[in-house]
Structure 1
Amino acid sequence: MEDHRLPKIVLYGELATGCHKRSAPKKRHKDSLKQYLTLGHVDYHQWSTLASNWNTWRHTIHDATASFENTRRIILKEKRQHRKNHSLPILPKETFRCAFCDQTCLSCIGLFSHKHACSKHG
């Protein structure tokens, strides 16, 4: 393809705006395309041949999107399970009770702060 053609400019030229990692080269549209195709488990070495046949490309992209969404949902579900199954902090064996209101505190300093603020203290 000739250099002045729009598809070649878009795929192989540098992006005019956007961000890139510090001390990393500027990304091209093709670099972003490779990243997204990899996330969808599409072989990015053959994307141009896949894209030449509209039906094959459409089917491939549809499957890649479904695969990406399923993977994303599984990861989110695992993260949620990890948060929910995170063990609760182990309570200390010794607890401290307020002599005025019978409030239970988990530490001596907590009891001291509570006694300072306790409304029944006087």
Structure 2
Amino acid sequence: MNSVLRQRRLHWLDHVHRMEDGRIPKDILDGELAFGERPTGHPQLHDKDVCMRDMKVLDIVTESWQGLAANHTRWRSTLNQHLKTGEEKLLSAAADKGAHRKEGSSSSRSTTTYRGDLCDRD
């Protein structure tokens, strides 16, 4: 599901990036607040922040994405390639995590870390 969401967000980013200046979606994507401040703690991410995070997860160089997105076919092929490798990495990480979890549950605890004095329990 995360892969599909990343794909849709980055396709949208490409679409908005290629829009002419002055269009509302492009102004919102590129705009910054003139005044005010974001809340402390964990502030909400802007659309561009989420897209940059997605590109970082997929190992797309975030500094040169605008030059890459200028050529629509090159952007799509790069995006599809990185989405495929990212999905493979995610599946292998999940398999490794499952194997590690299985390995940890099958091993018996031979030594205890603490034994109670009164009840003789672990």
| Alignment TM-score, normalising by the size of structure 2 | 0.59
Task: Specify the structure having the higher radius of gyration (Cα).
Answer: 1
C-alpha distance in 2 between matches for 1:29 and 1:77: 31
1:45 to 35, 38, 63: 63
What's the counterpart of residue 31 of structure 1? 49
**What SS is found at the alignment partner of 1:46?**
helix
After TM superposition, the runs of 4+ consecutive aligned structure 1 residues lying more than 4 A away are none
Unaligned runs of 5+ in 2: 1-19, 33-37, 112-119
What is the aligned length? 89
Return 5+ residue gaps in structure 1 as ranges.
15-19, 93-107, 110-122
Q: Which residue identity does 1:70 align to in structure 2?
A: E
CA deviation after TM superposition for structure 1 residue 10, in Å: 3.3
Is the contact made by 1:42 and 1:64 (CA closer than 8 Å) also made in structure 2?
Answer: yes
For 1:4-83, what aligned pairs fall within 5 Å after superposition?
4-13=22-31, 23-83=41-101
Q: Report what 1:88 is aligned to.
A: 107
Distance 1:90 1:59, change over 3 A: same
Q: How far apart are residue 76 of structure 1 and its match?
A: 0.3
Once the two structures are TM-superposed, the CA of residue 42 in structure 1 deviates from its matched residue by 0.2
Identify if the C-alpha distance between structure 1 residues 65 and 21 changes in structure 2 by more than 3 Å, giving closer, same or farther.
farther
- Looking at structure 1, the residues matched to 30 and 102 of structure 2 have their Cα atoms a distance apart, in angstroms, of 46
Question: What is the Cα deviation at residue 89 of structure 1?
Answer: 2.4
Residues 1:27 and 1:90: Cα distance change in structure 2 (over 3 Å): closer
- Sort the Cα spacing of 1:29 and 1:45 in 2 relative to 1 into closer, same or farther, 3 A: same
The structure, 1 or 2, with the larger RCO (C-alpha pairs under 8 Å, 6+ apart) is: 2
TM-score by length of 1: 0.59
Point out the structure with the larger helix share: 2
